[in-house]
Amino acid sequence: MRDVLCAPVSGRVIRMADVPDPVFSQEVLGKGCAIWPDTDIVYAPLSGSITVVMGHAVGISGDDGTEVLVHIGVDTVDMNGAGFTGFVKTGDHVDAGQPLIRMDRLAIRAAGHPDCVVLAVSNTDSFADVELAVEGEVSVLAGSPVVTVRRS
């Protein structure tokens, strides 16, 4: 059985290995992908409960058991929430496609940080495989399938 995670933002998809941060590129926080965004709104990639909100990042425990981290930018924790407007709080239930955060891409770049949006499956080890649902670096619209989670 396969589950699909949707793009949290419109833009150009890249492999996790190409994220300019070793924690993500080495898949320390899980397999997935990243997207160089074309827009400022970040959406829920699946339906579930919000487990963590950190300004620049949101954790979601999916209704299907998939746990994801949506992380905006690299080293954006240094911005202490500046440039991010959250639409959800811990404990909220969200539907796939629901807005999570508005990011200010200009503020992120002005702070010297890459603005890629990472989608990581935090509980990757619970599944047979987590892989890209698209081939190569392609542009996608928010809500398009980007990651497939295969259950054993």
Radius of gyration of the chain (CA): 14
Out of 56, 71, 93, 113, the active site residue is 71
| 71 tagged catalytic | yes
**Which residues are part of the catalytic machinery?**
71
